[in-house]
Amino acid sequence: TDTSQSSHSRHGTECDSNNMKVMLEQLRFNTIVMEGDFTAQRMKELIAEERTKVTRSTDAFALVILSHGTEGYVLGTDWECLAIKEIKEMLSSTKFRRMAGKPKLLFMQACQ
């Protein structure tokens, strides 16, 4: 798959990010927006870090990723691939025990 795009910028990201934040806040989610140029490895680290902040009293967890992508993957700014399957595994009840049996929402805006 060709991942040799000439630019890291993703047009519309700021608008998409703001719209998702507003929508999630209307649904009474506490939101944290992390903007920046993240490598694939850093995205994995951030997901792992956010999982540790969740308590048993948390009702639901939502993750929004706005990035470039290719089929089955999102791309870091290093153009390394992070498998959507791996992200889903990180959010699974076996890996994310505090959220076992509770809704985990994954939103992605990335070309597939």
State how far the Cα of 105 lies from the Cα of 112, in Å rounded to an integer: 19
Active site residue 111: yes
State how far the Cα of 41 lies from the Cα of 78, in Å rounded to an integer: 9
The vertex-84 CA angle with 83 and 86, nearest 5°, equals 65
Active-site annotation holder among 8, 11, 15, 68: 68
Residues 69, 112 contacting (CB under 8 angstroms): yes
Active-site annotation holder among 11, 15, 81, 111: 111
The β-bridge partners of 107 are 64
Residues constituting the chain: 112
Residues 64, 107 contacting (CB under 8 angstroms): yes
Catalytic annotation, residues: 68, 111
